[in-house]
Amino acid sequence: MSELEEMLLREDRGFIRILTINRPHRMNAMSTELGDRLIEEFVDANADPSVRVIVLTAVGDRAFCAGADLKARAEEDKAGKPFQPLLSRVQRYVFEVVLETFKPTIAALNGPAVAGGCELALACDMRVGAEHALMGLPEAKRGKGAHFANVMLPRLIPSGIAYEMLYLGEYINMEEAKRWGLVNRVVPKGEALNEALLMAAAICENAPVTIRRMKETAVRANGLPMSVALRLNEGVSPYTSEDRVEGVRAYVEKRKPVWRGV
C-alpha cells in the first residue's frame, strides 16, 4: 500500500463503504493529498453499484479531523509557496463532492472535528459523535476562511447559533451539538463507528432507488422556491422502478423485500 493509500483506508462491509482517515500523527489533519484522496474515494463510491451507504471516520480517538495541516502550511508559507484557495484549484471542492454524493453519508466522529474537519463532518448527511468529541470552527482565531461552513452552518442550525460559532471560534461539546441538531446521536468513547454502522445497515434495508431520490432531491432542492423544488425529477424514479413493485409485493406477502436498485 502506498503512502497516499495509507492516509485514507477503505473497507467494504456488505453494502457499506467505510473510509477511514489515517493520519493520527497529525491529528488526522487535512493535507492537499488527503483532500484529493477523499475526492477520489467519494467519486468511486458514488459510482459503485455495490455501495449503498458511505461511513467516514478516522483512526484513534484523539481527533476525527483537526482541519488543515497548519504545520505543513506554515512550512509552505516560509518557503514562499502561494496559497491556493479550494475553489481555485483544478480538482473539485472536497466538501462539495461529499455533499453532492447521492448515496447516504454518515460521519462517525471518533474525536474532535474542528475547522476543516468540522466542515467535512457538516458535508455528510448525518453525524454520530463520541461523547468526548468536540465541534468547532476556529478560523476567526487563525485568520482563515471557513468558506463551506459560512454557507452550510446557517442552513443547518439557527443563524444566531451559527454566527456565534463562526465569530467566536469556540468549540461545542456533543450534547450542545445534539441539542442544535449538528449530531444525530452521542455515544460512549470508542463507539461512534459501531453506531454509524448500525445506522448504515438500517438504511441498507430500505429501497436504494428511494434513498437515492431522497438524497438527490433534498440536496438540489435546498434554497430553491417550493414551486421549483416540487418539480425536480432527480435520478431514477422510485414510482416507476422495479423496487417499488417488489416493495409492495413483499409487504402484501409479509416477507422481506429483495431490492435490485432499479
Active site residues: 139
* Contacts for 9 with CB less than 8 Å, ≥ 6 apart: 18, 19, 20, 22, 59
CB 126 within 8 A of CB 156: no
Q: Which residue has the cell 462491509?
A: 13
Q: Nearest-CA neighbor of 70 among 88, 89, 87, 83?
A: 83
Contact 171, 116 (CB under 8 A): no
In 78-169, beta strands by DSSP E:
105-109, 113-114, 126-130, 134-136
Q: Which amino acid is at 54?
A: I
Distance separating alpha carbons of residues 245 and 260, to the nearest angstrom: 11
Coil, strand, or helix at residue 30? strand
- Among candidates 91, 140, 103, 139, which has minimal Cα distance to 119? 139
Closest CA to 174 of 123, 206, 127: 127
